Structures are given as C-alpha cells and as structure tokens.
Amino acid sequence: MARKVERLTLDNLARLPGHCSSCTFWEFDPVRRSQIRGHEAEEKAAWVSSMLREWGSVGRVISVDDQVVGHLLWAPALHLPGADGFATAPVSPDAVLLASGYIDPGFRGQGLARVLIQSMAKDLIRHGGIGAVEAFGAHRPREGNCVLPTDFLLAVGFRTHRAHARNPRMRMDLRTTLTWRREFEAAAEKLLGGLKRPVRHPAPHPAPRDAGQALSAPVLNPGPRAAR
C-alpha cells in the first residue's frame, strides 16, 4: 500500500473521512455555530483558506492508495474559539492547539496517527516561535466526538499539563522532538514506500592554475526550507 502525508489544503479538505470536513466545533464559538447551521462545510473551507493565507499550514492528511484516511488539525488558540468552553482553558501562550484528529476505523492500528503527530511537530519546529503543542483530552471519549482521547495523547508524547476529571489539558514540548527528528524521517521514508531523495552532485570545480594545488569539491549544505 502506498502511503502519503500532505498538508491540509482546500483540495483535500472535502475528502476527509467521517464528518471532519464540515465539523466546526473548534473553529467557531457556539453562537456562530448556530448561525452557520446548514453551511458548515463552506464555513470550514473559508476558515482553512484564511489560515493558510495569514498564518501557514494548520493540518496534515494521510492517504493510503490515494484514499484520505486520516488527518490532524491545529492552530493558535486565538483562531480556535471552541476551546474557550473547556474548564482547563486557556492554552499556554507559547503553544499552538491540536484541535482535532481522526483515523478511519479500517486503518487504525497501523501507526498512521503517530506519523501524523510527528509530521505536525516537524512542521511547527520549522515554523519557528512555537514552544509546544497543547490539546484538550477526553478521559471518556466517544466515537464522533471532536475531543481527542487522553490515552492517545499520552501514547504519542503528550503529558498532563493541567489535570481535570473529564478534559485535562495535555502538552508536548517541541524541544524534546528534536532528538527524534532524524529517526522520524528515516521511519517516514520507509513508511511512504522507501522514497529516496535525489542525490545532489556538486557542480564541476575549475582546476586551479597552480597544478600543484589539490582539488577539493565544495560541501553542499542547503539547509531545510521553511514549510508553511
């Protein structure tokens, strides 16, 4: 099976499994949600478009054989007013909020959610200026609920930041992810079908006029590009 991780865009938003493409629990407060009833998909698309223009990437989707089977969505808490209703709010000033995530039931147990979490962390490290990811967990999750299970968050690297009987606030420090970035890239390369990066050969170096001078090839170190 061919697996692929991509940025969340308007092109793949409508392909999200379940009701995720039209869920606006996090993006709008209760009053606004009541006003847009019946037009949730359009309003969600408008929110994603605005965030891509003004802030950058706010999600990842994972596909298996060109079928989108899961996603994660995150953003600064300022842009996710649905979080204000939680008893353990607000989100810390140095963190973004991981709002929603979903894996199609037929594809669970294959490590796809962990790959999405690690891809999110890598993206946010490149974005810069972000110290952590926080999320509101659910101790008693329900299928179709927009709140991620606490057990899942603990399993992928979060820890309890503010305890609560129903919805604790969880936190993952992005600095700790620096130690496994290389391991993730190797694992993702294997997961996504063993794709290899093209080898960059150094440009021909002109021979020095002094025939006795040793020839040396320049060391290329282009550095990672910022992913937005």
Burial class for 15, CB neighbours closer than 10 Å (0-12, 13-18, 19+): middle
pTM assigned to the model? 0.77
CA distance 133 to 96: 5
For residue 162, the model assigns a pLDDT of 97
For residue 214, the model assigns a pLDDT of 30
Please provide the CATH number assigned to the domain covering 3-191.
3.40.630.30
For residue 99, the model assigns a pLDDT of 97
198-to-5, 62, 195, 217 alpha-carbon distances in Å? 19, 23, 9, 18
For residue 34, the model assigns a pLDDT of 96
pLDDT in single tens digits along all 228 residues of the chain = 788 999 999 999 999 988 889 999 999 999 999 999 999 999 999 999 999 999 999 999 999 999 999 999 999 999 999 999 999 999 999 999 999 999 999 999 999 998 999 899 999 999 999 999 999 999 998 766 789 999 999 998 899 999 999 999 999 999 776 565 555 555 555 555 544 444 445 555 444 444 333 323 333 343 444 444
CA distance 101 to 152: 11
Domain residue ranges of the chain, discontinuous segments joined by +: 3-191
For residue 83, the model assigns a pLDDT of 97
